[in-house]
Amino acid sequence: MEKLPSSKLIFLFLFLGFFSGIYLDKNDSFLGFNYYNFFELFGSIFINSLKMIVVPLIMSSLIFNIASFKSTNDLSGLGFKTILFYVFTSLAAITIGIIVVNIVQPGLFNGGGGAKILGLASSDNLDFMVNSQDNYSLSYFLLNIFSGNIFLSIANGNMLFVILFSIVFGLAIRSSSSKSMDTIRFFWEGIYLVFLKIMRYILFFMPFGVFCLVAKTVINFNPESYIILSNFFITVIIALLIHMLIFYPLVLYIFKRNIYQHFKGMSSALLVAFSSSSSVATIPVTTKCLIDDLNYKEDRVNFIIPLGATINMDGTALFECVAVIFIAQLYGIDLTYIDQFLILSLALITSIGVAGIPSASFVAIIVILSAVGLPIEAVAIILGIDRVLDMLRTSVNVFGDSCCVSVVGK
């Protein structure tokens, strides 16, 4: 397996891009090559490479993971309770994120969208599905989901129908008792692994891609830009802290667990999660804390924690919905309840569907932006501050796994 660029290397290139953007001007050039055009070209190539891979990767990931449940017995008992807990907490996280981002409105500046301040393209020609309110209705929403042609939907990037088709296809494979279904499962596993490999090839160039995207974005910055990004940063942190320090303690209190003891017992795992930004890498420490320090049953911990590291991405789901609504606010788009319900649903599905995929949060954000018709290029403005947010998201994910053990595995 190819070794992906380390987070330290990405962070280094991020800083290089940031300071290059501060130092350089749009008209600066070297040997006839304009720096800004160079950053724009290779930044766009990196983004387009992600766009190329996202539809087949999500499709194969959903089909393979759903089909892997060979019978409904796999979802019974402890497994069913665990998945139900994770779905509930993810929905709670997304709801908290939506409420906070709508209250703070970090994407607005002086009563309008901040896209131009950040140097993003004009919103006049955006193909956003809610721009034409006269044509946008529940029937339009449903017809967009059931568009009828999977190949046309893939070509047009209609993520709603692609996701629905993938879920139904995976369920159909899982519910069939024919031996030939094993062949189909192996086929989709192979497709998923191939596209995962391609994704790793693309992410090998992520440091350079981040450098170009951040440099291009910062060149367009003005003092107001930092205010907008700071507001977004603070909004995500507030939402994550509410979920971790208010929602989860409330859950523990309802089930009569010792909140202080739980936080104290999980302190080592949370520190590792924060520093590593990886739920999977934290599994050994998390299991040790739960078994040795909090005295939970080893067999239940060893079942719930690996499953949680795979499918429980509540901190990531929260970040996804806040990021998408923030980008919509940047373009001055007023989202309806139907739009935000769509974002909530997609954030929940993609937070599970992209689990295990490198840079999963950005893959999921690209999926949601594509589904609602917002420009994917806007993701570039978030890259510069994502590292710290990723550390916090991982801490929330790991703490959620431990709460699941406390509630379900007691």
Model pLDDT for residues 193-249, shown as the tens digit of each residue: 888 888 778 878 878 887 887 788 778 767 777 788 888 999 999 999 999 999 999
Nearest to 130 by CA among 140, 120, 115, 143: 140
Residue labelled with tokens 């937070």:
351
Looking at the domain assignment, is residue 388 inside a domain? yes
Closest to 192 in 3D by CA, of 209, 175, 214, 169 = 169
pLDDT score for 127? 46
Query: 2 in a domain, yes or no?
Result: no
Q: Which of 393, 326, 404, 336 lies closest to 361 in space, CA to CA?
A: 393
Q: Is residue 301 assigned to a domain? A: yes
Structure token pair of residue 35: 């720096």
Nearest to 87 by CA among 400, 406, 402, 405: 400
Which residues, given as ranges, of the chain have pLDDT below 50?
1, 71-72, 74-75, 124-125, 127-138
Q: What is the CATH number of the domain that holds 155?
A: 1.10.3860
Structure tokens, 4: 């992906």
pLDDT digits (tens, 9 = 90+) for 3-30: 556 667 777 887 888 888 888 887 888 7
CB-based contact 115:327 (threshold 8 Å): no
Q: Is residue 397 part of a domain?
A: yes
Q: What confidence score (pLDDT) does residue 390 get?
A: 81
Q: Is residue 254 packed enough to be buried (19+ CB in 10 Å), middle (13-18) or exposed (0-12)?
A: exposed
At 131 the pLDDT is 42
- Whether residue 1 lies inside any domain: the answer is no
Please give the pLDDT value at position 148: 67
Q: What domain count does the chain have?
A: 1
The whole-number pLDDT of residue 37 equals 87
The domain in which residue 50 lies consists of: 7-408
Q: What string of H, E and C letters represents the secondary structure of the chain? A: CCCCCCHHHHHHHHHHHHHHHHHCCCCCEECCEEHHHHHHHHHHHHHHHHHHHHHHHHHHHHHHHHHCCCCHHHHCHHHHHHHHHHHHHHHHHHHHHHHHHHHHCCCEECCEECCCCCCCCCCCCCCCCCCCCCCCCHHHHHHHHCCCCHHHHHHHCCHHHHHHHHHHHHHHHHHCCCCHHHHHHHHHHHHHHHHHHHHHHHHHCHHHHHHHHHHHHHHCCCHHHHHHHHHHHHHHHHHHHHHHHHHHHHHHHHCCCCHHHHHHHCHHHHHHHHHHCCHHHHHHHHHHHHHHHCCCCHHHHHHHHHHHHHHCCHHHHHHHHHHHHHHHHHCCCCCCHHHHHHHHHHHHHHHHHCCCCCCHHHHHHHHHHHHHCCCHHHHHHHHCCHHHHHHHHHHHHHHHHHHHHHHHCC
Whether this model's pTM surpasses 0.85: no
Which pLDDT belongs to residue 135?
A: 44
